[in-house]
Amino acid sequence: MLVTYYSADVILDCLETLVAAAITDGTTLRVAVVDNASPDNCVVAIRAWAAGVRPYAPPADLPFAHRSVPKPLPEGMLEIIPAGVNGGFAAGVNIGLRYLFTDPTIDRVWILNPDSVVPPGTPAAFAAASSPFALMGGRLVYHDTPGLIQMDGGTLNRWTGVTGNINQYAPVIETPLPGPAASDFITGASMVASRCFYEAAGPMPEDYFLYYEEVDWALRRGDLPLAVIAGAVVYHRAGTSIGSAAVGRRATPFSLYFKHRARMRFVRRHLPRSLATAWIYTLAKMGQFMLRGWWADVDATFRGARDAPPPRVVRDRLDPAAAMRAFANKL
């Protein structure tokens, strides 16, 4: 299941490689794309690709060999679900989960970012993993630097609320996968949710709009374990639609506002005794930005941490309906 927003430039690479990998693996696949009211031609592009009307050529920098997917796709393999409004990442995920889990034959749903590409072996690894589990992930690798790991599971600093990427920037070939006990959460960029977890924990929390939804969700797993699966590799372009930090690229004010707002909201909700140290971290980050003269970053970070109205550079990225969802009564 994919949630799209401004994804027209990357979505076909994701869908093409995902379906090709499943065919190569012999894995049964049902793809649901939840479109968060994308203002680009994302949905048009998907339909044209699936029908075979729009030719597809893999990008020159695809980090693995690719065999073209026969078109048109079989009936029922791909479904597009319009969200109607951009309610944020979790809102789109929940629409897809509600829809897919109405099918009693589905026991797990793979949530995948549209700015990812999938090599053969990954669908089979996720499909073959044994139950029970709450959330399951694998190895996330940087698409632009495919020799480096982006994430092998996520950690949470309970003093600051800051999340970390296990094995980030470590070499793929030389680095073993950590055990599941090392992780506090599984990244929403590539995360498999089990039916038993969904029924016990409920839907993903939607009030963050962006960031920390999967961290909060993982805390609701009770006794169900997290799982990290060897062989489940995904190559990720990292933050193409929202401007998250990546190799050689700093985070945008849009990303900073939502990340620090979500972090402090998470701390207030789950780690209230750490509020003072979380604020110390925020002020330290603002100091770093000040020394570099990044005043828009300072403003976005401070407003986000205070849960204050966003700066115009952030607000103007969203249409009025999405802004009402994201900022509630703070506009």
The ranges assigned to domains in the chain are: 2-236, 253-327
Report the DSSP beta bridge partners of residue 118: none
Interval 68-119: pLDDT, tens: 999 999 999 999 999 999 999 999 999 999 999 999 999 999 999 999 999 9
User: What's the pLDDT score for residue 96?
Assistant: 97
User: What's the pLDDT score for residue 80?
Assistant: 97
Mean pLDDT of 35-53: 94
User: What's the pLDDT score for residue 192?
Assistant: 98
Mean pLDDT of 167-178: 95
Alpha-carbon span 330 to 157, nearest angstrom: 29
CATH number of the domain located at residue range(s) 2-236 in this protein: 3.90.550.60
Alpha-carbon span 184 to 163, nearest angstrom: 9
| 95 Cβ contact partners less than 8 Å away, ≥ 6 residues apart | 34, 81, 83
pLDDT top residue among 250 and 223: 223
- Grade residue 215 by pLDDT with cuts at 50, 70 and 90: very high
Query: Is 246's pLDDT higher than 60?
Result: no
Interval 157-169: pLDDT, tens: 999 999 999 999 9
Name the least confident of 20-29, 235-244, 295-304: 235-244
Mean pLDDT of 315-331: 79
Residues composing the chain: 331
Kindly report the pTM of this predicted structure: 0.92
User: What's the pLDDT score for residue 240?
Assistant: 56
Q: Please state whether the peptide bond connecting residue 132 to the residue before it is cis, i.e. omega within 30 degrees of 0.
A: yes
Q: Which two tokens mark 48?
A: 């044209």
Mean pLDDT of 116-141: 96
Query: Is 238's pLDDT higher than 80?
Result: no
Mean pLDDT (the chain, rounded): 93
Mean pLDDT of 292-321: 92
Name the least confident of 19-33, 62-76, 235-249: 235-249
Q: Are 186 and 213 in contact (CB under 8 A)?
A: no
